[in-house]
Amino acid sequence: MKQQDIKTEEKFMSQNIWLSISAGMVFLLLSVYSLIKHDIEEILIVGMSVLFYMVIVIIYLIKAGFPLKMYFKYAYKDEFLNTIDTNAYKHTSIAFGLCLLGVFYKSDAIPSEVSHAAMAVFYLGIMLLVYGASLLWQSRD
Amino acid sequence: MQNHIAEFRKAAGLSQQELADAIAVSRKTISTVETSRFTPSVIIALKIAQRFNTSVEHLFTLDDGD
């Protein structure tokens, strides 16, 4: 195992944590926002804000040399990073399962106007946030 | 399980990063092993022991609950 591979994995992990948390928060805000009625101006502001976030993320990914190819690797070579990544997936699965259970038992309380797309964005937000938060917590010194 | 890696490392005048580089693992691996939050594989344990010219038994000791 090369030390350069480890450095790349460490860099990917730290950037991925903040990317997951920020994307999760944006998704959650969007799903909550979609529950409230709005006029066209507010929707434009939110749309522009999301677009701004995406531009910032893309600039950051390019400038910081984000190792995108890591997304296509099944596992980390470093033992500790691989362990916390696996644990984070477990935490994400549990959180997703709890969300589904909550929706199953409280389905009557969810307004009929809430679309499947809004629910999908909500689930994605929860999963990304839990994944990022779990990695952040486990990788503390 | 307890370990004496931090003591061996400090005695050798190494930082966590230097030890991590020497055995090709991340610094977090060394940090979390030292604080007993992460139990390493036999391979990493042997590499650390080899780096300090000692045995794994000298580095790691079992607790009563293990």
Backbone φ, ψ for residue A4 (5° rounding): -65, -35
- CATH number for the domain spanning B36: value is 1.10.260.40
- Number of helices (H) and strands (E) in chain A: give both, helices first: 4, 0
How far is it, in rounded angstroms, from Cα A99 to Cα A97? Answer: 5
- CA dist list (Å): A39 to A14, A29, A44, A45, A107: 38, 17, 9, 10, 27
Question: What average pLDDT does the structure give for chain A?
Answer: 86
Residue B63 lies inside a defined structural domain of this protein: no
Whether B26 and A2 lie within 8 Å, measured CB to CB? no
Q: What is the pLDDT along chain A (141 residues), one digit of tens a residue?
A: 677 788 888 888 988 899 999 999 999 988 888 777 667 777 778 788 888 888 888 888 787 777 777 777 778 889 999 999 999 999 999 999 999 999 999 888 887 777 888 889 999 999 999 999 999 999 987
Residue B64, in any domain of the structure: no
Tell me the C-alpha distance between B36 and A120, whole Å.
39
Q: How many structural domains is chain B composed of?
A: 1
Number of compact structural domains in chain A: 1
Three-state SS at B63? coil
Chain A (96-125) residues lying within 8 Å, Cβ to Cβ, of chain B: none
Report the predicted TM-score, pTM, of the whole model to 2 decimal places: 0.85
pLDDT in tens, chain B (66 residues): 889 999 999 999 999 999 999 999 999 999 999 999 999 999 999 999 999 999 999 999 988 777
Structural domain boundaries enclosing B17: 2-58
Q: A55 is in which domain, residue-wise?
A: 3-138
Place of tokens 């749309």: A47
Of A2, A3, A79, the CB nearest to B29: A79
ipTM of the prediction greater than 0.90, yes or no: no
